[in-house]
Amino acid sequence: MFHRGAQRKRQEANMFAVMSVSYPDKAELYTSLADYAAVDARYYDMASWYYSDEIENLDDGTNEDLLMLTSVSELSPKLYAQYLRNIDASCRAEEKITHEMLRDLKSSIRAQIKKNLD
């Protein structure tokens, strides 16, 4: 699910980028959603590697910034609802499941980082 989700998130990031140009009055919203989807695709990749026991992919150094981003809050519920309204309806159920699982993984990462800093 995370592998498919990462691919979907990349497509959504592109879609939102196009929408930000196509609808200048909503450019700020669509740019925010494009940025969110692009970063979330990277988290989905990490989760995919983690849950498929491909831990070696996590240690290549390309995702160091994601560890720091886990301390940044998620999208607001209002913006996440806007995101869900804009994605393909057939993807919403899987998105909600993987989003919740990813939130749990991010919480675990945050706790581990905090533990290591203490």
- Residue 56: give the domain boundaries: 2-117
Residue 1, C-beta contacts closer than 8 angstroms, at least 6 positions apart: 94, 97, 98
Q: What is the DSSP letter of 70?
A: T
Higher pLDDT, 61 or 38: 38
| 3-40 pLDDT tens trace | 999 999 999 999 999 999 999 999 999 999 999 999 99
Q: Round to whole Å and give the CA distance between 42 and 114.
A: 22
CA 18 to chain centre: 19
Q: Round to whole Å and give the CA distance between 88 and 86.
A: 7
Q: Round to whole Å and give the CA distance between 105 and 47.
A: 8
Q: pTM of this prediction?
A: 0.82
> Which pLDDT score is estimated for 75?
80
Number of domains making up the chain? 1
Q: Which helix (H) or strand (E) holds 25?
A: none
Token pair for 56: 């070696």
How many CB atoms within 10 Å of residue 103?
12
Higher pLDDT, 61 or 36: 36
Q: Round to whole Å and give the CA distance between 14 and 98.
A: 20
